[in-house]
Amino acid sequence: MNEKFGEIKQEIVDGIKGLQSSKAVYEFKKQFLDNKAGKIGLLMKEMKNIAPEERASFGKSVNDLKEWAQARFAELDETMKSLELERRYAEEKIDVTEPGAEEKSGNLHPITQMRNEIIDVFSGMGFEVVENKEIENDYYNFTALNTPKDHPARDMQDTFYLSPEYLLATQTSAAQIHTMEAKKPPIKILCPGKVFRSDDDATHSPMFHQMEGLVVDKKITLCDLKGMLDEFVQKIYGEGTTTRLRPSYFPFTEPSVEVDVSCFECGGKGCKLCKGTGWIEILGAGIVNRKVLANCGIDPDQYSGLAFGIGLERVTMLKYGINNIKLLFESDIKVLEQIDNN
């Protein structure tokens, strides 16, 4: 019997050497210490074949062997667990000094950036944003804006007609009529929108973006217009930029003005951008024509208004020195990535 004890011990001592993981230790341990099928457990079943006077010492020997084996396996379990932990730490080690992977995030299209910037400036002055319609009828786009059929001013805008009555909006000015019909003064709105004209060259595209501004209240004058536009150009083109108004003509404003901005490239001395004049034309504006107010049921003796129309492509091209409008529509990532104001 003693021989059998020795064999089991030796088997454990030898077997333990090759074990590589906690799982292997667990499986190997089961062969000896499993209550039912383990080799040490089975020794107890031999008890009935042992002479009664030797049973006590036999039982003790089995228990000693069991305790010895349990202690070996417990030790082994400990070492194995700490080895495995070390292995895991080594595998999962993070080098905190390694430079992070650069995360690329897209940016808004320059026109959208400009649109948001302008909205920011004017909402700071209390303007409310109203979206413009892309399809208009002839009345809102022209007639109500004091441009009836056969009016020569219709030639100023090459219109895409969808039917004799409907057309693609040629200007955001129709928003003036929609707003004044729906709401009485005081009115202070900004209307961004897409507009369409049959025009296509380096600085014109058949679809472009405008932003209409309209203020109607008592005693609104050209001074209010100039004050607001000065604030606008300073925010977009920098401190010290100013505007000048030149007489112009639009059927829906009287008087009408063309607004120039002092050249932000040369500070007014004269350069290529301003063609030596020190000024750059940026938008059309004026005092709302009395007839337009009356068309919308607003008494022109009591109220007056100012309106302006900003071409977003034009102000964006000027700000970033873009000389061809196509660059804004081709969506070439290499170009667009260079224009990020945020």
How far apart are the C-alpha atoms of 108 and 188, rounded to whole Å?
Answer: 27
- Which residue lies nearer to ligand PHE by CB, 85 or 129? 129
Q: Of 68 and 249, which has the nearer Cβ to ligand PHE?
A: 249
Binding to ligand PHE by residue 253, rule CB under 6 A?
A: yes
Report the residue number whose CB is nearest to ligand PHE. Answer: 309
Phi then psi for residue 239, to 5 deg, are -55, 150
Which C-beta is closer to ligand PHE: that of 58 or that of 308? 308
Rank residues 47 and 207 by Cβ distance to ligand PHE and give the closer one.
207
Minimum distance of ligand PHE from residue 176's CB (angstroms): 8
**Binding to ligand PHE by residue 250, rule CB under 6 A?**
yes
Task: Kindly state the smallest distance separating residue 309's Cβ from ligand PHE, in Å.
Answer: 3
- Quick one: which of 225, 254, 219, 242 has its CA closest to 122? 225
For residue 109, what are its two tokens?
A: 């299209």
Q: What is the layout of strands, in order, in the sheet containing 187-196? A: 128-129, 187-196, 207-217, 304-311, 279-288, 253-262, 243-250
b/e code 29-57 from CB counts within 10 Å (16+ = b): beebbeeeebbbeebeeeeeeeeeeeeee
Nearer to ligand PHE, 113 or 173 (CB): 173
CA distances from 144 to 46, 147, 189, 339 (A): 113, 7, 18, 39
Encoded one letter per residue, x for contact with ligand PHE by CB under 6 A and - for no contact, window 152-171 reads -------------------x
Sign of the dihedral defined by the CA atoms of residues 233, 237, 241, 243, in that order = negative
Q: How far is CA 280 from CA 41, 223, 257, 275, 317, in A?
A: 101, 20, 14, 8, 12
12 or 167: whose CB is closer to ligand PHE? 167
Candidate residues 174, 191, 285, 318; the one interacting with ligand PHE per rule CB under 6 A: 285
Query: Which is nearer to ligand PHE, 312 or 339 (by Cβ)?
Result: 312
- State the alpha helices, DSSP H only, in the chain: 2-17, 22-33, 39-45, 55-91, 110-123, 138-141, 174-182, 222-237, 290-295, 312-320, 326-329, 333-336
Q: Which stretches does DSSP call E strand in 108-252?
A: 128-129, 135-137, 166-168, 187-196, 207-217, 243-250
Of 205-224, binders to ligand PHE (CB under 6 A) are: 212
- Kindly identify the residues of this chain, within the stretch 298-337, that bind ligand PHE according to CB under 6 A: 307-309
Closest distance of CB 153 from ligand PHE, Å: 10
Tell me the closest approach of the beta carbon of residue 338 to ligand PHE, in angstroms.
29
Closest separation between CB of residue 313 and ligand PHE, Å?
12
| Part in contact with ligand PHE (CB under 6 A); list of ranges 26-34, 38-46, 118-126, 279-287 | 279-287
Stretch that binds ligand PHE, among 80-88, 220-228, 270-278, 280-288 (CB under 6 A): 280-288
CB-nearer residue toward ligand PHE: 110 or 305: 305
Q: Which residues of this chain interact with ligand PHE, rule CB under 6 A?
A: 171, 173, 212, 250, 253, 284-286, 307-309
